[in-house]
Amino acid sequence: MSKPPLIIVNAIIFLGFPIAALILVPLWGIHHGYDSFQWLWALAFLYLNGMSITGGYHRLWAHKSYDAHPALRTFFALWGAGALQNSILIWASDHRRHHRHVDDNELDPYSAGRGLWFSHIGWILREYKTNTQDFDNAKDLQRDPIVMWQHKHYVAITTFMNLGLPLMLGFWHGDVIGTVLLVGLLRLVVNHHVTFFINSLAHYWGSRPYTEANSARDNGFLAFLTYGEGYHNYHHIFQTDYRNGIRWWQWDPTKWMINLCSHIGLASNLTRVPDFKIQRAILDAEFIRARNKLDTTQNSESLRELLEREYQLFTESINQWKALQSQRYERKKDQLGNALEGRKQLLQQKWEQAALGTHLKDLEYSLKMQRKRLSYLMEQMQLQQAQMA
């Protein structure tokens, strides 16, 4: 079966540039050397480009996980174009299709099911059917004036950001070639491939604590390389959360940047998935793994009974949580409708809201305890399997 035609421009950028960087950057370094000014600016450009992709292209525009001030949106549009990964409109549309059809080799533009090379860079190099542009899933972006301005002038903007700015820095510093090689070429190649790691390695390497329904994985090392995007299993099940690393200790500078912007008035309406939903997803995945393990464990009737009892408790907690969320919603509606009916009634409504909040916290805690019991049950299964071996 013949392969689709090669896209010459993409082949030059994504194959030719890395080869040029491997040859030219060391040669210039051996004969002329680089100084700290050039290395620091290369690192600065790398982070400005990378976090404009993660915080702008990805979490702001592709997933609408928060709202941003026009100044911040313009900043992301400029530095995101400098990453040379296409316009916001095309990038976000492709990414939305990836989420909707993840691992579907016929519909996912960079499906991991088609291999590591394809999902990393191969999908960009040829005119595959899955690359056909269709903006039906991006009508909101087509109404965004900043998105459309960048899309219309993308070639001019990315040329200035990738060549014009490094040239200006080089003239200022007195070493045009060295600065262009580091700040322009090497930085661009590194930026491309750390972004591509999310499409490729993050679907092959790591853990799946939240769902095994798709190939996306959590990987702390990849998160370090990709400005926090490596917690990919979480992201694929909770894509509207402005965070990827939800624990305080998880490396997610994009999350910290968005949070900081919210404190200085540049970002608002940050979406956070409730902890109960996160615990529910973890338990769902663990129940599936436990049942699969039980299917391979002999004389496991007592363990199966324990598991089903735990699952019944889990289902009851979910139903209680849904009922409480419905009550909380109705209380808020009543509170808005009766805001002018007196202080006594307002205090009563606040008390009821606090009571509902306490009950929700109790349910979250019960799920955490259930995870511990389920972990003990899995240990029992492993012990029983070892004894049977």
Q: Tell me the DSSP string of 281-302.
A: HHHHHHHHHHHHHHTT-SS-HH
- Indicate the SS3 state at residue 231: strand
Structure letter (DSSP) for residue 56: I
* Res. 180: pLDDT tops 90: yes
- With a CB cutoff of 8 Å and minimum separation 6, the contacts of 373 are 310
Q: Which residues pair with 105 in a beta bridge?
A: none
Distance, CA of 179 to CA of 231 (rounded, Å)? 33
Cβ atoms of 230 and 200 closer than 8 Å:
no
CA–CA separation, 212 vs 294, rounded Å? Answer: 17
Instruction: Calculate the CA dihedral of residues 34, 36, 38, 42 and round it to 10 degrees.
Output: 120
- Average pLDDT of span 225-229: 95
Q: How many helices (H) and strands (E) does the chain have?
A: 19, 2
Going through the chain in order, the beta strands assigned E by DSSP cover 67-68, 267-268
200 is written with which tokens? 């490729």
Contact 202, 222 (CB under 8 A): yes
pLDDT (0 to 100) of residue 359: 56
In this prediction, residue 146 carries a pLDDT of: 97
pLDDT digits (tens, 9 = 90+) for 70-98: 999 999 999 999 999 999 999 999 999 99
The answer to whether 109 and 131 are in contact (CB under 8 A) is yes
pLDDT of residue 287: 73
Cα–Cα distance measured from residue 9 to residue 44, given in angstroms and rounded to the nearest whole number: 27
- Mean pLDDT confidence for 112-124: 94
Across the strands, what pairs with 126? Answer: 6
The answer to whether residue 388 scores a pLDDT higher than 80 is no
Collapsing DSSP states into helix, strand and coil, what is residue 207?
strand
Q: Is there a contact between 257 and 55 (Cβ–Cβ < 8 Å)?
A: yes
Residue 311 corresponds to which tokens in the numbers above?
A: 């699952």
Q: What's the confidence (pLDDT) of residue 366?
A: 64
pLDDT value at 272 more than 90: yes
DSSP conformation class of 3: P
Sequence letter at residue 52: S
Token output for 173: 């510093």
At 78, phi and psi to the nearest 5? -70, -55
User: 131 falls in which pLDDT band (50, 70, 90)?
Assistant: confident
> Distances from the Cα of 177 to the Cαs of 103, 166, 188, in angstroms?
43, 9, 15
Q: Is residue 132 over pLDDT 70?
A: yes
Give the integer Cα–Cα distance in Å for 222 and 201: 8
- Our CA angle for 85, 90, 95, nearest 5°, is 85
For 25-161, list the strands marked E by DSSP. 67-68
User: What's the pLDDT at 119?
Assistant: 95
CB 52 within 8 Å of CB 83:
yes
d(CA 125, CA 144): 29
Q: What percent of the chain has pLDDT over 70?
A: 74
Q: What is the dihedral of CA 92, 93, 98, 100, to 10 degrees?
A: 110
Task: State the residue for tokens 């299964």.
Answer: 381
Say if CB 294 and CB 304 are below 8 A apart: yes
Q: Quick one: pLDDT at residue 377?
A: 61
Locate 291 and state its tokens.
Answer: 């049942």
Give the confidence band of 340 by pLDDT, cuts at 50, 70, 90: very low
